[in-house]
Amino acid sequence: MASATEPSAIGAASDGVNSRRTVAAVERGQTVTLHFVRHAQATHNEAAEKRGREAYSDPAFMDARLTDLGREQCRTLQGRVVSNCEEVQLMVVSPMSRAIDTAMIAFDKVPSHVPWIALECIRERSGNHACDKRRTKTELLQQYPQIDWSKVESDSDVYWDTLGDDRETDEMMEDRAHALFDWIRSRSETNIAIVTHSAFLSVLFNKAVRCGARLQRWFDNAELRTVLMQL
What CATH number is associated with residue 97?
Answer: 3.40.50.1240
Q: pLDDT above 70 covers what percent of the chain?
A: 89
For the residues 174-187, what does the mean pLDDT come to? 97
Q: Tell me, what's the pLDDT at 84?
A: 81
Q: Tell me, what's the pLDDT at 93?
A: 99
pLDDT category of residue 48 using cuts at 50, 70 and 90: confident
For the residues 29-41, what does the mean pLDDT come to? 93
More confident residue, 6 or 56: 56
Note whether residue 52 is domain-resident.
Answer: yes
Note whether residue 2 is domain-resident.
Answer: no
Note whether residue 1 is domain-resident.
Answer: no
pLDDT category of residue 15 using cuts at 50, 70 and 90: very low
Strands (E), 15-169: 31-38, 90-93, 116-118
The string over 207-217, giving b where at least 16 C-beta atoms fall within 10 Å of a residue's C-beta and e elsewhere, is bbbbbbeebbe
Residue 8 has pLDDT above 70, yes or no: yes
What CA–CA distance (Å, rounded) separates 14 from 56? 35
CA 65 to chain centre: 16
Note whether residue 124 is domain-resident.
Answer: yes
Note whether residue 6 is domain-resident.
Answer: no
Answer whether 65's CB lies under 8 Å from 42's CB.
yes
Rounded to 5°, angle at Cα 39 from 111 and 43? 130
What CA–CA distance (Å, rounded) separates 115 from 147? 8
Note whether residue 34 is domain-resident.
Answer: yes
Q: Which residues are known catalytic residues?
A: 39, 124
What CA–CA distance (Å, rounded) separates 223 from 227? 13
Q: What range defines the domain where residue 164 resides?
A: 11-230
pTM above 0.85, yes or no: yes
CA 93 to chain centre: 7
pLDDT category of residue 11 using cuts at 50, 70 and 90: very low
Q: Tell me, what's the pLDDT at 231?
A: 83
For the residues 71-88, what does the mean pLDDT come to? 92
What CA–CA distance (Å, rounded) separates 226 from 138? 32
More confident residue, 15 or 72: 72
What CA–CA distance (Å, rounded) separates 163 from 161? 6
When divided into structural domains, the chain yields a total of 1
